[in-house]
Amino acid sequence: MKPKTTDLRRSEQRLQECEEKYRNLVERAHDGIAGSPILIEGKHVGTYGMYENISEGKLLEAQILQAQKMESIGTLAGGIAHDFNNLLAIILGHLSLMERAAYDPAKSASSFRAITKAAERAAGVVGQLLTFARKNEGRRESVRVNDIIRELLKFLDETLPKNISITTDLAGGLPSVIADGTQIHQVLLNICVNARDAMPRGGTLRIATRAAAHDEVRNRFPLADARTYVEIRACDTGMGMDETTRRRIFEPFFSTKEPGRGTGLGMAVVFGIIESHCGFIHVDSHPGRGSAFTIYIPVPPAAVDRPEPAESGPAEVPAGRETILIVEDEEDLCDLLRMILETAGYTVLSEPDGQAAVEAFRRHRGEISLVISDVGLPKMSGDQAYFAMKQLDPGVRMVLASGYMEPELKASVLRAGVRAFLQKPYAMHRVLTEVRLILDAR
């Protein structure tokens, strides 16, 4: 039976409307599209299709990952605040002692060393927080797992309760892996936070690494196909889990914590990260006997190990007599940097904002050998000031300084000609060494 003409027209109109909506969805989705023509009496009247908006899924995944990162930091916030207060107490206390013992060189030197150590510890915690909390696209590169663990240990030493001891057994000569170091850091932090929660009265957390051969990993995970894996094993002496909990631990939104204490996404994110690295994770746990998380990350073929960085003590830093322009809106920090440079013999000019710095550079263009500028400045940012100065003198030499700079911006200004990036807080020897290297470069 043939359809009536009016019904056919109505169908054609409706299909055209649907097809238009479909095209709009396709333009928004960008991927996951499949379609086929709709024919009525041999006439093409529309298209039937399905799409999967993968872009929205990726966005949701990124949002969940970032939210879980912040949850991990929030979990440790109390410990961070406690240790920062301790560090501030150490610094302020020793400053008071130095003031009273101004004529006792031995006591002053001892207080100076204690203040330096406390400040370095505080800077390390801040650096870890900024690295871990940043929102940026994951980057896979050759990394050493042991290096990631050592950085994590600095963070944990400052944040975990003092009744939890951490021991390590890191195998030497481990091959590098291709991984996102920040994500692996997050995986290990999540596991360590879980271990802390499982040991409310204290205990021991042990982290070990070693190389694992293909056959050994394949016996546990039949899909393992790499010749070698780096194994990371984290064991705690906590309360452990029963078999039902152990089987569900990687399920999204599954949590054994009371409401309001966690989203239940931590271990699901851990599993997703390890899976995205083509790795595997296994959990051994028994009530009252603690838990052990074992992670396997594949080693790429012909992995080339990077040499361990050689440790070196402080070296003599050569002085200079060039003129340097400091651009810094924090008055005390500007004064400190001025004293560091003037002590080494340099002539120093300073300005409190980017706009004033460009004008100063215009006036003293023939005299200024180097510009050291903060990034976050009033009126004109440090990177904007650099491009303005570059128009006045294409050969301008600038060092940018900041407590944290977005990786994309940092990479772009370095490509544009900025000579170096100084991480705040900066030490005197680092500033003087960097300045001398840049000024001596041709």
Residues 6+ apart with CB under 8 A from 95: 111, 115
The pLDDT value recorded for residue 339 is 87
**Token pair belonging to 230:** 């780096």
371, exposed or middle or buried, with CB in 10 Å at 0-12, 13-18, 19+?
A: buried
Q: Which residue has the higher pLDDT, 304 or 355?
A: 355
The pLDDT value recorded for residue 1 is 45
Q: Tens digits of per-residue pLDDT, 284-298?
A: 999 999 999 999 999
**Which residue matches tokens 């003092």?**
162
Using CA atoms, how far residue 426 sits from 269, 333, 372, in Å, is 35, 10, 12
Q: Which residue has the higher pLDDT, 316 or 184?
A: 184
Query: Coil, strand or helix: which one is 154?
Result: helix
Query: Coil, strand or helix: which one is 256?
Result: coil
**Token pair belonging to 102:** 């101004």
Angle subtended at Cα 403 by Cα 402 and Cα 408, rounded to the nearest 5 degrees: 70
pTM for the structure as a whole: 0.50
Structural contact between residues 389 and 419, judged by C-beta atoms closer than 8 angstroms: no
- Tell me the three-class secondary structure of 365-430, residue by residue: CCCEEEEEEECCCCCCCHHHHHHHHHHHCCCCCEEEEECCCCHHHHHHHHHHCCCEEEECCCCHHH
Q: Which residue has the higher pLDDT, 437 or 410?
A: 437
Please state which of the ranges 128-132, 275-279, 336-340, 399-403 shows the lowest mean pLDDT. Answer: 128-132
Q: How far apart are CA 57 and CA 60, in angstroms?
A: 5
**Which residue matches tokens 């089987």?**
247
Structural contact between residues 72 and 92, judged by C-beta atoms closer than 8 angstroms: no
Structural contact between residues 34 and 54, judged by C-beta atoms closer than 8 angstroms: no
Using CA atoms, how far residue 192 sits from 211, 237, 266, 380, in Å, is 21, 12, 11, 42
Q: Which residue has the higher pLDDT, 405 or 243?
A: 243
Q: What is the mean pLDDT of residues 228-233?
A: 95
Q: Tens digits of per-residue pLDDT, 148-187?
A: 999 888 778 767 888 999 999 999 889 999 888 878 887 8
Structural contact between residues 9 and 41, judged by C-beta atoms closer than 8 angstroms: no
**Token pair belonging to 250:** 């990687």
Q: Where are the beta strands (DSSP E) in 190-333?
A: 203-213, 228-236, 280-285, 291-298, 323-327
Q: What is the mean pLDDT of residues 276-286?
A: 91
Using CA atoms, how far residue 283 sits from 149, 208, 232, 241, 277, in Å, is 19, 15, 12, 10, 18
Q: Which residue has the higher pLDDT, 366 or 158?
A: 366
Q: Is the pLDDT score of 403 beyond 50?
A: yes
Q: What is the DSSP string of 107-144?
A: HHHHHHHHHHHHHHHHHHHHHHHHHHH-------EEE-
Using CA atoms, how far residue 336 sits from 31, 82, 339, 405, 422, in Å, is 54, 28, 5, 21, 15
Provide the pLDDT confidence category of residue 270 given band limits of 50, 70 and 90.
Answer: confident
The pLDDT value recorded for residue 238 is 92
First-residue to last-residue Cα distance in the chain? 88
Q: Is the C-alpha dihedral spanning 133, 137, 138, 141 positive or negative?
A: negative
- For 336-348, give one letter per residue: b (16+ CB within 10 A) or e: bbbebbeebebeb
Domains along the sequence of the chain with CATH: 5-52 (no CATH), 60-298 (3.30.565.10), 323-440 (3.40.50.2300)
Q: How far apart are CA 337 and CA 328, in angstroms?
A: 9
Q: How far apart are CA 23 and CA 17, in angstroms?
A: 10
The pLDDT value recorded for residue 37 is 56
- The average confidence (pLDDT) of the chain is 77
Q: What is the mean pLDDT of residues 385-413?
A: 86
